[in-house]
């Protein structure tokens, strides 16, 4: 029962934490952009295609985006940060606390559609004009061209403004959701409550002293 209640309290705390973060970022409109995420050294893919069997809701604002990023991650610890002007979501990997970074880019929806609707010959011409290898993934081409042509949304600056972070800081600035830390804190809190209940129970069993 103790473990069950502890787990329920941890889940509730995580839900409340994420809800607070999502609400604080809900005024940042990202409805006209498509999020792309960089999977380590494997290049970019759309967030919708990243861990496809982990579903997320429709993304209309930055709060929705953050919720979706958390849903897509596997690590026990998930960090949202701004590094070098980029929005980065990091997750713990392995057993030694190592973190893996995933850069997130928001690309104008119309621009994405323009590239995806190119015919084979038009796409080949585009690759040639910009010097892309024929083996370059379309998603990497989309992100690279969008950055070059100013078709990405600068959500990092808006998030910095919400949290009061320095926009041009080279130091990683982050908010963290650590399941381990939440579990440890809630476990200690629950154990304290349990000890207090046991002390009260013992006092009641002994009855009043003369």
Residue 1 has pLDDT above 50, yes or no: no
C-alpha angle 15-17-19 in degrees, rounded to nearest 5: 65
Confidence band, pLDDT 50/70/90 cuts, at residue 175:
low
* Mean local confidence (pLDDT), 73-83: 84
Q: Which helix (H) or strand (E) holds 189?
A: helix 179-206
Residue 143 has pLDDT above 80, yes or no: yes
Q: Pick the range with the lowest mean pLDDT from 75-89, 123-137, 138-152.
A: 75-89
Query: Which of 14-18, 21-25, 40-44 bottoms out in mean pLDDT, i.e. has the lowest?
Result: 14-18
pLDDT range class, residue 13, cuts 50, 70, 90:
very low
Given a contact cutoff of 8 angstroms between Cβ atoms, the answer to whether 141 and 124 are in contact is no
Please list, in sequence order, all residues whose beta carbon lies within 8 angstroms of the beta carbon of residue 86, skipping any fewer than 6 positions away: 103, 104, 105, 156
pTM, two decimals, is 0.72
Q: In this predicted model, which residue has the larger pLDDT, 75 or 200?
A: 75
CA nearest to 35, candidates 75, 88, 78, 79: 88
- How far is 131 from 67, CA to CA, in rounded Å? 36
**pLDDT tens digit string along 43-63?**
999 999 988 777 677 899 999
Query: Is the pLDDT reported for residue 15 higher than 90?
Result: no
Whether residue 48 contacts residue 55, with contact meaning beta carbons closer than 8 Å, is answered with no
Give the C-alpha separation, 86 to 44, whole Å.
Answer: 14
């Amino acid at each position: 029962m103790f473990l069950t209640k502890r787990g329920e309290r941890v889940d509730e705390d995580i839900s409340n934490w994420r809800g607070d973060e999502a609400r604080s970022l809900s005024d940042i409109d990202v409805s006209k952009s498509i999020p792309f995420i960089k999977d380590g050294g494997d290049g970019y893919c759309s967030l919708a295609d990243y861990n496809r069997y982990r579903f997320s809701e429709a993304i209309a604002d930055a709060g929705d985006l953050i919720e979706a990023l958390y849903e897509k991650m596997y690590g026990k610890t998930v960090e949202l940060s701004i590094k070098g002007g980029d929005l980065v979501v990091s997750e713990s990997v392995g057993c030694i606390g190592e973190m893996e970074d995933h850069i997130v880019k928001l690309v104008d929806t119309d621009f994405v559609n323009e590239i995806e609707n190119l015919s084979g010959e038009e796409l080949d011409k585009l690759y040639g004009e910009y010097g892309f290898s024929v083996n370059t993934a379309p998603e990497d081409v989309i992100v690279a061209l969008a950055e070059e042509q100013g078709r990405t949304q600068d959500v990092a600056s808006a998030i910095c403004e919400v949290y009061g972070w320095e926009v041009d800081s080279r130091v990683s600035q982050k908010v963290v959701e650590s399941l381990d830390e939440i579990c440890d804190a809630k476990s200690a809190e629950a154990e304290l409550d349990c000890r207090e209940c046991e002390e009260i129970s013992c006092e009641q069993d002994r009855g009043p002293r003369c």
